[in-house]
A and B are shown apart, each in its own frame.
Chain A
Amino acid sequence: MNVLEVDNISVRYGDIQALWDVGFGVREGQLVTILGTNGAGKTTTLKTIAGVLQPFSGNVRFNGSLISGLPAHEVADAGISLVPEGRQLFPQLNVEDNLRMGSYLKRTKVRRDQNLKSVYNLFPVLAERKKQEAQTLSGGEQQMLAIGRALMQDPKLIMFDEPSLGLAPILVQEVFNIIRELSRQGRTILLVEQNVHQALKISDYCYVLENGRIVHEGTGKDLEQDPKVREAYLGI
């Protein structure tokens, strides 16, 4: 049973079409990755699921109900969180207010204190910087804050949009460790990455996006073996 069902969506920016009949699914507890180069349509896919963009054809279903066509705040209420590319924090809110924004919805407000505690446990550095404006944090701390903010939403599905982008190698490793840890806790995760090595290692199932179309799919192991994928993305 797929928790998330993306059914042949096509998306346009004005006259330019970015996605062509993209379809895939994510099962409960799975870590699914979408791979692809710059401009392949990865971010567009996530934004469309999140309700920031709307497809002109095709549907997105979540837990069996239609969510395409809903505005972002209602998709968030349905249980989908996006950790956006480039973090997209609220730069002049302090760390705690950024986290509190994660539990803006009524659904999650009741568990705010509990969630706040567990986020601080996961990222002790955020607890230290509670009262600091988000824009004063380092890149790695900002990424932790973005993830923490998403966790505050009590999501049934977390989507990560290139979480390793612009981070030092040591931090990249840490981010992937966190994602793997979240996956181990049984969370459902949709990951978009350009860092193919790392992504293939941790994911249960992968899709490869090229020019707005899905061109390959398979388990991480399968794709690692696939000669075409090896040539195009792993440089072997």
Chain B
Amino acid sequence: MELLPQVILDGILIGGIYITIAIGFSLVFGVMHIIDFAVGEWIMLGAFLGYYLNGWTGLDPFALLPVVFVVFFGIGYLIQPAIQRVISGHRGNPLLMGLVFTFGIMLIIRGLGLTIFGFYSRSIPSKLAASSWLFEKGDFFLTVPFVRLAGLAFAVAITLVLHYMLKKTDFGTGVRALAQHKESAGLMGVDSHKTNCIIYGIYVGISAMTGVLVCTIFSMTPMEGGRYTVLAFFVVVLAGMGYLPGVPWAALFLGLIQSIFIVYLSASYTLLAVFVVLYIILLISPKGLFGRGW
């Protein structure tokens, strides 16, 4: 039982990483109904930009986050019109078109990544990665790794900034209006084209920053994006497709069950157990934990 506090803490810290993986993905689905298969690839690209910037400048990866965000915001902003064009044509199911198109983007980025970055595993060093708080008293102990704590802080910060933007600013109200009724939003003066570009830019930017984070905490190869795409799907489906407020809770929930299962059940069946839990929840509530998704 003395392990329990550590298990819960580890679960929350894993959940923090899941928040950043999934929150931009959920935002984009909620606003423009694009399921972006390339989310893991944006994470991968961000990781490599972070890796090289760290190599050139020697700055700590957390200090590089703003730069990575700005670069990938720009990329997302510029690429969105192409996606919009594909999904808004009169070519059948827009959701499906978006899936196919982003699947293509994923393959291209992955191939290019392999060619440009090589096939080795990369990892960004950080001063934070080597330090942690340690409480120990008899059999009871609790370790708080700084780098993961910083990851959680980053996730909370991103969540709060997005919350503030969506709830408290006119732009955010416009984004919500656009998600709920595109035509009316246009009548109110919302430039849907520009708004979509900005939202997509924010999403790509957040995903790229997430890449820097996971490359600091774990490691990254150009082939690894798919793993994060799956995780993003998991969290977003659990939260309810497009229901943004559900994402942090779903992410923490996933992190916690993973942490609890790996310690108290068996490391061999943790992922299986996570799948089973996910399916049971979806069976009971197909619109996610909160019943508010699509």
**A residues bordering B, Cβ < 8 Å?**
14, 50-52, 71-73, 76-77, 81-82, 84, 88-93, 97, 100-102, 104-105, 109, 149, 153
Please tell me if the beta carbons of A92 and B180 are within 8 angstroms of each other in the complex: yes
14 pairs of residues in contact across A and B, judged by CB atoms under 8 Å: A50-B187, A72-B183, A73-B186, A73-B192, A76-B188, A76-B189, A77-B189, A90-B180, A90-B184, A91-B180, A91-B181, A101-B185, A104-B190, A153-B188
Q: Complex Cα distance A88/B180, Å?
A: 10
Residues on A with beta carbons closer than 8 Å to the beta carbon of B189: 73, 76-77, 104-105, 153
Please tell me if the beta carbons of A73 and B191 are within 8 angstroms of each other in the complex: yes
Residues on B with beta carbons closer than 8 Å to the beta carbon of A109: 170
Q: Closest residue to B90 on the A side, CB-wise?
A: A14
Q: Closest residue to B194 on the A side, CB-wise?
A: A73
Please tell me if the beta carbons of B177 and A76 are within 8 angstroms of each other in the complex: no
Which applies to chain B's interface (DSSP): helix, strand, loop or mixed? helix
Of residues 203 through 239 on chain B, the ones whose CB sits less than 8 Å from some CB of chain A are none
Q: Closest residue to A105 on the B side, CB-wise?
A: B189
Please tell me if the beta carbons of A52 and B186 are within 8 angstroms of each other in the complex: yes
Please tell me if the beta carbons of B173 and A88 are within 8 angstroms of each other in the complex: no
Q: Complex Cα distance A51/B186, Å?
A: 9
**B residues bordering A, Cβ < 8 Å?**
90, 170, 173-174, 176-177, 180-181, 183-193
Interchain CB contact (< 8 A) of B186 among A14, A71, A149: A71
Q: Beyond A92-B176, A93-B176, A100-B170, is A52–B181 a contact (Cβ under 8 Å)?
A: no
Please tell me if the beta carbons of B190 and A90 are within 8 angstroms of each other in the complex: no
Please tell me if the beta carbons of B187 and A82 are within 8 angstroms of each other in the complex: yes
Please tell me if the beta carbons of B188 and A88 are within 8 angstroms of each other in the complex: no
Q: Complex Cα distance A149/B173, Å?
A: 14
Q: Complex Cα distance A73/B178, Å?
A: 12
CB distance from A154 to the nearest CB of B (A): 11
Please tell me if the beta carbons of B191 and A81 are within 8 angstroms of each other in the complex: no
Please tell me if the beta carbons of A84 and B176 are within 8 angstroms of each other in the complex: no
Interchain CB contact (< 8 A) of A72 among B170, B176, B177, B186: B186
Interchain CB contact (< 8 A) of B174 among A52, A76, A92, A104: A104
4 closest residue pairs by CB, A with B: A72-B186, A105-B189, A76-B189, A88-B184
Q: Closest residue to B178 on the A side, CB-wise?
A: A90
Please tell me if the beta carbons of A88 and B191 are within 8 angstroms of each other in the complex: no
Residues on A with beta carbons closer than 8 Å to the beta carbon of B185: 90, 101
Please tell me if the beta carbons of A90 and B187 are within 8 angstroms of each other in the complex: no
Residues on B with beta carbons closer than 8 Å to the beta carbon of A90: 176-177, 180-181, 184-185
Please tell me if the beta carbons of B181 and A89 are within 8 angstroms of each other in the complex: yes
Q: Beyond A52-B186, A73-B191, is A88–B181 a contact (Cβ under 8 Å)?
A: yes
Please tell me if the beta carbons of A101 and B191 are within 8 angstroms of each other in the complex: no
